[in-house]
Amino acid sequence: MARQMDFSGYDPGPYYDEMFDAAGVPRPGCRMLYEKIISLPPGEVLARQAAAEQALYDMGITFTVYGHEDGTEKIFPFDIIPRVIESAQWNALERGLAQRIAALNLFIADVYGKGRIMADGVVPRAVVESSSGYFPACVGLAPPRGVWCHITGTDLVRDEGGRFLVLEDNLRCPSGVSYVLANRRILKRAFPQVFEAIDIRPVDDYAPLLLDMLHAIAPAGSSRPTAALLTPGVFNAAYFEHTFLAQQAGIELVEGRDLVVADGYVHMRTTRGLKRVDVLYRRVGEDFLDPMVFRPDSLLGVPGIMEVYKAGRVAMANAPGTGVADDKVVYAYVPRMIRYYLGEEPLLDNVETFLCWEDKARRHVLANLDTMVVKAAAESGGYGMLVGPAATPGEREAFAAKIEANPRNYIAQPTVGLSRTPVIVGDRFEGRHVDLRPYVLYGEDIRVIPGGLTRVALKKGSLVVNSSQGGGSKDTWVLGGPAA
């Protein structure tokens, strides 16, 4: 006999729990969901979880398990219990994100333009120019509308007090938004009655907004611009997302070999000859974009495309060079950028960050490694990091040596006790740590998609939510109410 799944015995622990307050009472926005879950007959929660997993499998949102040459495939772990964000909290978050993106965009334009912020000593020139995402070849570029970071995914966490903090900015080719859309589709099947009963802000307009943004940045004079998504190809880990977004936005999915520069424009090779492309949603990194400007050995890019871009005859999102603001050292300066460019106080705080290239900060970090999270400045995906409290003395020692050897490459942050939310573990609920990656589009104006990807560290006690490190995802519900 299947067990009735309720929340008896569920322990929110010393963390901020997304569903329950400290006394174990469901938060107001979660009440309806809570009641729905406990009203389900025995076995039903697990049946719906299984149905959701099967649906993801059938939709082909899978990856091939490494080491299984016979083609064994798995879905990315997914938990059907949604994470709920209340309207007022979201509105504050949205304003903070819009402010941050506006400042970051001005920063990138400045870095490749006049360099005022460096001349004024607000951000050290050495930091900017040593960022692995800084490309001298991009100096002097002038993207349409002055917009550089068209698509951003900002990683947010919540500390023990429930306060949202920015953990990092992803301005290169942030992935994951396809899971936001797929997760929502699945959840509508899993909990249709809850969707009927409460006002959950839709995310389905992401693809049309993406298309509007791409059209908005098209070179002047293209009345019906042709947009395409440039993918590295079928072996890329995010290929599913590339196909999905191209399909949803109704644009062509192209690889470098489908494109050619001729007569000063970028064209696709079609069955009827060449066809001009006006806008590229670029999911190929700068390194590989144009072998004539960046890595000469790249086979994924399009020779000569940067010349066309400079001439303003093709637009790209994101603009080449935006990765400079992806650097985790540069991240530490974002609050200062907001004050510098906008004359405003940041609405969203960073996690307190120590820059190891500053002597005093480095000494502090090395003395407190057991309480800190240390990250390599240019890495992502949960690679190249040390979670101090979870590491062995030997691991900490080895990491300390790396920091000493290359201080510019490391930042450290106090370990944040990330908020938790219930996930299904066996036939019960347990709290697991989560973060949140909302997606922001910047074309004519800045649009924050309500919700985002909630990533969850499925390993008990783990603070690392990256899918490459055993993380899963959840649907994120932003409740309706007066808009921001």
Partner 1 sequence: MLSRVAEAIYWMSRYLERAENIARFIDVNWHLTLDAPGARTEQWTPLVRAMGDWDLFQEKGVSQDRDGVIRFLAFDPSSPNSIVSCLSRARDNARTIREIIPTEMWEQINVFYHLARNASGDSRAILANPYQFCDEVKRRDLTISGIAGDAMSHDEAWDFLRLGKLLERADKTSRILDVKYFILLPHPTDVGSNLDYVQWAALLKAISALEAYRRRHGRIQPDRIAEFLLLDHDFPRSVLACLLRAQQCLHAITGTQVGYFSNPAEKRLGHLCGDLAYKGVDEVFACGLHEFTDGLQTRMNLVDEACYATFFATFPAIDAAGQQ
Q: Determine the Cα–Cα distance for residues 169 and 418; give it in Å rounded to an integer.
A: 17
Contact pattern for partner 1 over residues 194 through 233, marking x by CB under 8 A: -----------------------------------x----
Q: Determine the Cα–Cα distance for residues 458 and 235; give it in Å rounded to an integer.
A: 26
Q: What is the CA radius of gyration of the chain?
A: 23
- Binds partner 1 (CB under 8 A): choice among 40, 59, 122, 366: 59
- Binds partner 1 (CB under 8 A): choice among 3, 35, 57, 146: 57
Here the tokens at position 255 are 């690889």
- Separation in Å, CA 259 to CA 220, 237, 256, 302: 21, 22, 5, 6
Closest CB 389 distance from partner 1, rounded Å: 42
Comparing CB distances to partner 1, the nearer of 57 and 383 is 57
Alpha-carbon torsion angle 218, 220, 225, 228, nearest 10 = -30
Longest dimension (CA), the chain: 71
- Quick check: 64 binds partner 1 (CB under 8 A)? no
Comparing CB distances to partner 1, the nearer of 2 and 237 is 237
Beta bridge partners of 259: 268
Contact pattern for partner 1 over residues 286 through 315, marking x by CB under 8 A: -----------------xx-----------
Shortest CA distance to 259 belongs to which of 215, 286, 226, 237?
226
Residue 406 half-sphere exposure, CB side, CA atoms within 13 Å? 12
- Check: CB of residue 428 under 8 Å from CB of residue 9: yes
- Quick check: 239 binds partner 1 (CB under 8 A)? yes
- Quick check: 53 binds partner 1 (CB under 8 A)? no
Closest CB 400 distance from partner 1, rounded Å: 45
- Quick check: 263 binds partner 1 (CB under 8 A)? yes
Here the tokens at position 307 are 């010349």
- Quick check: 247 binds partner 1 (CB under 8 A)? yes
Q: Determine the Cα–Cα distance for residues 279 and 313; give it in Å rounded to an integer.
A: 9
Long-range contacts of 386-389 (CB under 8 A, 24+ apart): 387/415, 387/463, 387/464, 388/415, 389/415
Closest CB 421 distance from partner 1, rounded Å: 30
The site that binds partner 1 (CB under 8 A) totals a number of residues, namely: 33
- Give, as ranges, the residues between 375 and 434 that touch partner 1 (CB under 8 A): none
Closest CB 476 distance from partner 1, rounded Å: 23
- Binds partner 1 (CB under 8 A): choice among 132, 243, 415, 469: 243
- Binds partner 1 (CB under 8 A): choice among 79, 94, 168, 255: 255
Comparing CB distances to partner 1, the nearer of 75 and 456 is 75
- Give, as ranges, the residues between 268 and 287 that touch partner 1 (CB under 8 A): 268-271, 273-274
Question: Quick check: helix, strand or coil at residue 125?
Answer: helix
- Binds partner 1 (CB under 8 A): choice among 50, 126, 139, 234: 234
- Check: CB of residue 434 under 8 Å from CB of residue 456: yes
- Quick check: 60 binds partner 1 (CB under 8 A)? yes
Q: Determine the Cα–Cα distance for residues 171 and 173; give it in Å rounded to an integer.
A: 6
Segment lying near partner 1 (by CB under 8 A), choices 81-89, 201-209, 242-250, 286-294:
242-250
Write down the residue that tokens 């020692």 correspond to.
397
Residues that bind partner 1 (CB under 8 A): 57-60, 70-71, 229, 234, 239, 243-244, 246-247, 250-255, 257-258, 260-263, 268-271, 273-274, 303-304
